[in-house]
């Protein structure tokens, strides 16, 4: 082919490519289309109380306040794994096991919490809540886990005591749903988990003779469909929202093709990893909304609508209303939704800027950040402008925080700024579920601890913690400037917010210090092994950091001894501090840099 002809064809090809790439940005033949109006979801679901603060009274004031904020449906129970305040978690907690079904090992294990007296007390509370919702014209949802199993089994290698492939188990839940409706005819919809909430499913690769070799999507959807059809036969407009929690992305996509769209909906965390304020509406969530829309399956997207969240637990007052607004907007814009639902719980009997921001969004999903913040701050009168700055910086800090490092980076209020002086790790978390062993490995940097974190992984998170701390410092500086200016009606909550924000700042700094100290000590050890002279810059930075860390711990020891050794005997220091030790048992749980 002649060279000139070749270049002409190449030029023509590049021109077509450029046109194709620019196509989405070209004006249409009808002119530039106006911005789309945000969808107004039909269902806006809240509930009272949170796991770490369950004692929120179901009364006219609180339910009425939720209605004023734009909620039109209420989940009737907190439904959290450790059963705060004896809240019901399973159908078996509010209705007796129907005749004809033998108690399982799980039933026997939980017999003490399911006495007739306790079932009756929960039932009475539930009827009170239903009546309140009906008084305010709000729909009701009862949340439960099924099949209710004893997990892990009492003996290793023994199949679960309830299996969804067992017709007897399906019959049991048909009977329980019927008994529940007879006892609580005012409940409109159900929300069912099939993992967690004291529910669990057999593995296709496990030891259950019924389930081995049968894909999960082929087993769980008939069970869910039976519950949905049973409920619809009792409640003609009722929906059973199924939460496909702990299923892999691929499994949920297949399940969306198999559930009965006439009576089963989906309740979805807005991220396959968890509900995360800074990471809402991930690709999985958007894909599943697309799949659901193809079959007109109603979907509830789950978010944080108030200040109490599992991420901040046990803090109740940290206000990040701009982050709340952005998360709500992202979820609302992700695809067709029937509703938006609170995931953790609400505390409406106190000032909650996040919850009020949710109300502003419900009233006008098209509202801009600036207009929403201005409206939110109006009650603060002369302090309004400062509050907007404070909330903006606090929101940006929380959006900067590395929620994606590990599931254990949640519940940050439970972490201990008095970290260990062994090498900083980044603790991973994982369980034997389909999602944890697949999809969530793309959502969290650490899902196990089989290897120590790489230098760069420690540095990455150290720098992100530092960025978070800087935003928090700026927010706290604004808060200091507002002292005495916040109206009395809001001062108590504002001060609680600032107190918790300072505590959060300490914890974020502790993570950053520990990670950097470990990397600096590793650098000094590496130089020594190579026979290089001591790098004075590294040594000076480490000394300075240890002193800052000591101040952050708010006590002299154990860092006073470490600093003294650093100055007196560097080789001994490097043989003593910031070395990997493996699990010590001293910092279990939420302090993610200490084992």
Q: What is the chain's pLDDT, residue by residue, as a tens digit (595 residues)?
A: 444 444 344 344 444 333 333 333 333 344 455 567 999 999 999 999 999 999 999 999 999 999 999 999 999 999 999 999 999 999 999 999 999 999 999 999 999 999 999 999 999 999 999 999 999 999 999 999 999 999 887 777 789 999 999 999 999 999 999 999 999 999 999 999 999 999 999 999 999 999 999 999 999 999 999 999 999 999 999 999 999 999 999 999 999 999 999 999 999 999 999 999 999 999 999 999 999 999 999 999 999 999 999 999 999 999 999 999 999 999 999 999 999 999 999 999 999 999 999 999 999 999 999 999 999 999 999 999 999 999 999 999 999 999 999 999 999 999 999 999 999 999 999 999 999 999 999 999 999 877 899 999 999 999 999 999 999 999 999 999 999 999 999 999 999 999 999 999 999 999 999 999 999 999 999 999 999 999 999 999 999 999 999 999 999 999 999 999 999 999 999 999 999 987 877 777 899 999 8
25-63 pLDDT, tens digit per residue, is 333 344 455 567 999 999 999 999 999 999 999 999 999
Return phi, psi of residue 29, to 5°: -60, -25
Coil/strand/helix, residue 13: helix
What per-residue confidence (pLDDT) applies to 587? 79
Tokens representing residue 554 in the block: 């708010």
List the structure tokens of 231: 């409920």
Our measurement of the distance from residue 423's CA atom to the centroid of its chain's CA atoms, rounded to an integer in Å, reads 28
Could you tell me how many residues make up the chain?
595
**Any bridge partners for residue 45, and if so which?**
73, 341
Q: Whose structure tokens read 């950040």?
A: 369
DSSP H helical segments within 44-145, as ranges?
Answer: 60-68, 105-109, 116-135
pLDDT for the residue numbered 153: 75
What DSSP state is assigned to residue 367? Answer: -
Strands 139-145 and 299-303: unpaired
Q: What secondary structure letter does DSSP report for 316?
A: -
In 420-454, which ranges are continuous DSSP H helix? none
Distance CA 394, CA 474 (A): 8
Q: What is the DSSP letter of 315?
A: -
Residues 414-435 as b/e (b if ≥16 CB within 10 A, e otherwise) read: bbbbbbbbbbbbbbbbbeebbb
Task: Collect all residues with Cβ–Cβ distance below 8 Å to 55 and sequence separation of at least 6.
Answer: 49, 85
Dihedral angle of Cα 372, 373, 376, 378, to the nearest 10 degrees? -120
Helix H or strand E segment including 43: strand 43-46
Task: Say if residue 152 is preceded by a cis peptide, omega within 30 of 0.
Answer: yes
> Is 126 in contact with 88 (CB distance < 8 Å)?
yes
Q: How far is CA 127 from CA 65, 77, 130, 186, 204, in A?
A: 20, 11, 5, 8, 40
Q: What is the pLDDT of residue 332?
A: 98
pLDDT at 32: 52
Q: Which residues contact 297 (CB under 8 A, 6 or more apart)?
A: 256, 259, 261, 264, 265, 266, 291
Nearest to 199 by CA among 245, 161, 244, 145: 145
Contact 444, 408 (CB under 8 A): no
CA 366 to chain centre: 25
Distances (CA, A) of 437 to 219, 252, 295, 430: 19, 15, 29, 8
d(CA 397, CA 407): 18
Q: Could you tell me the sign of the dihedral formed by the alpha carbons of 141, 147, 150, 153, in that order?
A: negative
Q: Which of 410, 451, 418 is nearest to 582 (CA)?
A: 451
Question: Cα separation of 187 and 95, whole Å?
Answer: 14
Angular region, 367: left φ>0, alpha ψ -120 to 50, beta rest: beta
Q: How far apart are CA 40 and CA 286, in angstroms?
A: 17
Q: What is the pLDDT of residue 33?
A: 55
What is the Cα–Cα distance from 532 to 536, expressed in whole angstroms?
12
Tokens of 399: 């959006």
Q: Which CATH superfamily is domain 43-379 in?
A: Glycosidases (3.20.20.80)
DSSP 8-state code for residue 442: G
Domains of the chain, residue spans: 43-379, 401-576
β-strands 189-193, 139-145 pairing: parallel
Which tokens in the block code for residue 543? 């000394």
d(CA 183, CA 170): 20
Q: Dihedral, CA atoms, 7, 13, 14, 17, nearest 10 degrees?
A: -170
């Amino acid at each position: 082919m002649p060279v000139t002809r070749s270049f002409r064809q190449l030029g023509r090809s590049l021109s077509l490519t450029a046109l194709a790439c620019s196509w989405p940005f070209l004006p249409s033949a009808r002119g530039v289309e106006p911005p789309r109006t945000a969808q107004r979801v039909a269902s806006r679901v809240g509930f009272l109380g949170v796991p770490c603060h369950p004692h929120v009274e179901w009364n006219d004031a609180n339910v009425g306040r939720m209605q004023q904020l734009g909620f039109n449906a209420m989940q009737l129970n907190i439904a959290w794994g450790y059963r705060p305040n004896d809240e019901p978690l399973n159908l078996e907690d509010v209705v007796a096991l129907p005749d004809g079904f033998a108690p399982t090992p799980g039933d026997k294990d939980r017999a003490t919490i399911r006495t007739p007296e306790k079932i009756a007390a929960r039932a009475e509370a539930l009827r009170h809540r239903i009546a309140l919702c009906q008084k305010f014209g709000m729909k009701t949802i009862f949340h439960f886990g099924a099949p209710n199993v004893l997990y892990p089994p009492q003996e290793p290698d023994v199949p679960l005591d309830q299996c969804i492939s067992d017709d007897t188990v399906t019959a049991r839940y048909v009977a329980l749903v019927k008994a529940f409706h007879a006892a609580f005819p005012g409940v409109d919809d159900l929300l069912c988990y099939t993992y967690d909430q004291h529910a669990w499913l057999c593995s296709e690769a496990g030891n259950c003779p019924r389930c081995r070799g049968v894909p999960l999507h082929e087993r769980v959807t008939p069970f869910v469909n039976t519950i949905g059809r049973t409920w619809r036969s009792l409640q003609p407009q009722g929906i059973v929202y199924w939460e496909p929690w702990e299923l892999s992305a691929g499994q949920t996509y297949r399940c969306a093709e198999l559930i009965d769209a006439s009576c089963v909906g989906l309740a979805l965390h807005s991220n396959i990893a968890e509900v995360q304020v800074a990471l809402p509406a991930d690709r999985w969530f958007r894909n599943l909304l697309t799949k659901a829309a193809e079959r007109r399956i109603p979907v509830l997207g789950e978010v944080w609508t108030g200040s109490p969240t599992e991420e901040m637990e046990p803090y109740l007052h940290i206000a990040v209303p701009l982050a709340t607004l952005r998360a709500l907007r992202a979820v609302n814009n992700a695809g067709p939704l029937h509703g938006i639902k609170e995931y953790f719980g609400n505390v409406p009997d106190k000032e909650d800027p996040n919850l009020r921001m949710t109300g502003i969004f419900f009233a006008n999903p098209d509202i801009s950040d600036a207009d929403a913040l201005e409206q939110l701050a109006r009650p603060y009168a002369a302090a309004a402008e400062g509050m907007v700055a404070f909330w903006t910086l606090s929101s940006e800090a929380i959006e900067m925080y590395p929620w994606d490092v590990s599931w254990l980076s949640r519940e940050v209020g439970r972490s201990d700024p008095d970290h260990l002086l062994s090498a900083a790790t980044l603790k991973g978390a994982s369980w034997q579920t389909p999602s944890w062993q697949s999809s969530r490995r793309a959502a969290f940097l650490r899902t196990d601890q089989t290897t120590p974190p790489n230098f760069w992984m420690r540095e990455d998170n150290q720098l992100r913690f530092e960025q978070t701390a800087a935003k928090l410092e700026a927010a706290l500086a604004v808060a200091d400037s507002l002292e005495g200016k916040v109206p009395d009606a809001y001062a108590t909550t504002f001060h609680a917010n600032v107190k918790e924000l300072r505590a959060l700042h300490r914890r974020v700094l502790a993570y950053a210090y520990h990670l950097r100290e470990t990397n600096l000590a590793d650098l000094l050890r590496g130089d020594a092994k190579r026979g290089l002279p001591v790098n004075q810059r590294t040594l000076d930075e480490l000394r300075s950091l240890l002193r800052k860390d000591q101040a952050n711990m708010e006590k002299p020891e154990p860092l006073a001894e470490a600093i003294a050794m650093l100055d007196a005997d560097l080789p001994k220091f490097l043989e003593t501090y910031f070395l990997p030790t493996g699990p010590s048992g001293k910092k279990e749980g939420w302090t993610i840099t200490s084992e």
